[in-house]
Structure 1
C-alpha cells in the first residue's frame, strides 16, 4: 500500500504494517485531534473497517480499534463524541469509491478474530503533561509520578486537609476518567492498596481525584493525560492484572439528590437550559 487518503481534519497513510494518521491543524479541527498530532496504528490493533454515509454529503471510513489496544480509547471508555473519534476519517461523498478501495485493501490485514488485546499496541500520548482542573492542577512527569496541587479557590476542605498529593505510578492500578462534557466530570487515580469501596464516592472529596467543572480539564488536555498515565501503569508492571477503567461508578442516593439540587440551582440561574436540565436529571436518576 503506502498511499495517502486525505479527509476532513486528517489524512491516513496506508503502510505495510500500520496506518499513520496525521491530524490537520485549524480552527475547525477538533482540539483533541490537534493535541494528538499524529498516531501510528498497527494493523493488529484494529478489529474491523467500515464505510458508512456521514452527515451533509460525506462518507465515514472507520477503523475500529481492538478492545485493550489503545490507551486513549481505554481511558475514554466510550465517552468520546463521534466528531472526536480519532479512528473516523470523514471524506466528501465524491471520494466514496476511493475510500471503498482502501477499506477493501485494509480489511484483510486487521485482526478481525483476535479478540481483546493483552497489551497496548498504539503508543500513548507523550509526557510530561499537565492541565488545570477546577480544584487544582494535575501534572505527570511522563514515567514515574502524578501530582495534584490544590487550588485555594476550588478545592474542598477535605482536599485541603489532605494536602497536595503525589502518586508513584507503580502504586496505581488504573484511572477513571469521566468526560468534562458532563457536569460532574473528573479524573480519578485508582490505587493498588485500596479497593473501590475505600475511596470517597464524590470526586470533590477524594484526594486521588481532580474535578473538571465548566471550562476546566477539557477533553483535549485531560484525556491524553489519562491515557499517558494508563500506559505508564502498564509499563511499570507488565505482570499486573488488567487495568481497571470505568466511566464512573454508581453513586450513593444522597449524593445523587445533592447533585440534582445543584443542577436545579444552575437551572434556576439560567446557566442550564430546560433540555440540559431534563437530560442530566434523567442521567443522574439512572445511576440509582
Structure 2
C-alpha cells in the first residue's frame, strides 16, 4: 500500500485501485470538492508519471481513452486546479510520490491493455446535479436535462421558455470553458436537430462567462455523457464551434475527389423575356424581389430588402429620416439574431449614420 497526502488531495493505492480523495481547502478546486472521492480501477489506468520541479512537483494519472465520462465530456479542457487526475506535490514529499509511482507501475501487468475501452469504467458524478451559468441554470436528475433562463438570457432564447430534454433525445454533449474574452458553453445536441445555432440563441445550450462556479457545469456534462451510448459503439454528433455556428455559416460540404478530366462548362442561361431581367437562382433571390421582377417594369417601386450580408451598409436617400431609422432597426435585428457579427454591425451602422 502506498499513500501521499497533500493539501489538494490524498491518493491511496491498495494494489487494485487508486482512491483519490479531494482536500477540503480551496487549493483542491471547486469541481474536485463537489465531485468527491474517486475510485480508479487498475484496468482504467494507462499510466502514471511524476514530474519534479524547483518549487513543486506534479503527479499525473493517464486514463485509457473512453474510461471516464468526465474526461470524455470535457475533452482535456479542465484547468489543472479542477482536474482530479493531477496532484501538486511539495518538495518534502518527492520521495513519497516517486514510491507511489513505482508501486502503481509495478502493479500494472502486461495483461492490462492501454488502448481505448468499449465501456465506461468510472460511473460519473453523483445525481442530482444543478449548476448556474451565465444566462441560465442547467440541472440533471438522470432522466432529463432541464434548462431555465435568467434576466441575462437573450430575448429570443428566453421566449422559448424552460426546456426539458430527455436523455433518449440527446445525441451529443459538448462543454467548452470560457477563455479570455471568448465565452464558453454547455450544449446538448438533440437527435432531431443536430445543426446548432450559436449558444447565445440556442435554446439547448447555456453560455459560460468565466464565473467561479462555471466548472460545475462540467459535472452536468459528464453525468449526461455517462448515460449516452459509449463513443466506441456509436459515433456522437459533432457540434459546430460557436464561432462558426451562425445561421449563414453552415459547415462546408465534405471535399470530394476531383475529376480526372475537367467538367464541361455549364450551358448559358436562356435569354430572358423582353423587358425583364434574367431570372436568378431561387436560393439567391429573396421572394419579394422575384415577385417584383415577374410583375414587369411597370410595377410600383418597393423598398429594397436588406440581405444577410450584402448591402448591409448601403446608403439611404439624404434627408429621409424614416429610411435611416428603418435601416437601423433592420441592422439591429440582423445583429440580434446572429446574422451580422459585432464588427459587421458596427461598420454597417457607421455607413448608415455617417454617409457622405
Point out the structure with the larger strand share.
1
Point out the structure with the larger helix share.
1
1:210 aligns with 2:206: yes
Q: Secondary structure at the residue paired with 1:86?
A: coil
Q: TM-score of the superposition, structure 2-length normalised?
A: 0.63
Q: Secondary structure at the residue paired with 2:146?
A: strand
The C-alpha deviation readout for 1:126-165, integer Å capped at 9, x for no partner, is 1111112222221111x110011122x1222332332221
Say whether the 8 Å CA contact 1:180–1:216 is kept in structure 2.
no
Following superposition of structure 1 onto structure 2, how do residues 12-161 of structure 1 map, counting pairs within 5 Å?
A: 12-54=11-53, 57-110=55-108, 113-141=113-141, 143-151=142-150, 153-161=151-159
Q: TM-score of the superposition, structure 1-length normalised?
A: 0.77
Q: Secondary structure at the residue paired with 2:227?
A: helix
Unaligned ranges ≥5, structure 1: 263-288
Following superposition of structure 1 onto structure 2, how do residues 133-282 of structure 1 map, counting pairs within 5 Å?
A: 133-141=133-141, 143-151=142-150, 153-182=151-180, 183-195=182-194, 198-200=195-197, 202-215=198-211, 218-219=214-215, 221-234=216-229, 241-243=234-236, 248=241, 251=244, 258=341
Say whether the 8 Å CA contact 2:199–2:242 is kept in structure 1.
no
User: Which is greater in Rg?
Assistant: 2
Unaligned ranges ≥5, structure 2: 250-308, 310-337, 346-356
Q: Output the CA distance in 2 between the equivalents of 1:224 and 1:259.
A: 32
State the 1:113 CA deviation: 4.1
Q: Secondary structure at the residue paired with 1:232?
A: coil
Q: Output the CA distance in 2 between the equivalents of 1:37 and 1:7.
A: 16
For the aligned residue pairs, the C-alpha RMSD in angstroms reads 2.9
Q: Secondary structure at the residue paired with 1:175?
A: strand
Match of 1:267 in 2: none
Say whether the 8 Å CA contact 1:178–1:186 is kept in structure 2.
yes
Aligned structure 1 segments of 4 or more residues deviating by more than 6 angstroms: 253-257
Q: Secondary structure at the residue paired with 1:33?
A: helix
Q: Output the CA distance in 2 between the equivalents of 1:14 and 1:39.
A: 12
For this pair of structures, how many residues does the alignment match?
Answer: 252
The C-alpha deviation readout for 1:246-279, integer Å capped at 9, x for no partner, is 79466157879836689xxxxxxxxxxxxxxxxx
Q: Output the CA distance in 1 between the equivalents of 2:218 and 2:9.
A: 19
Say whether the 8 Å CA contact 2:61–2:85 is kept in structure 1.
yes
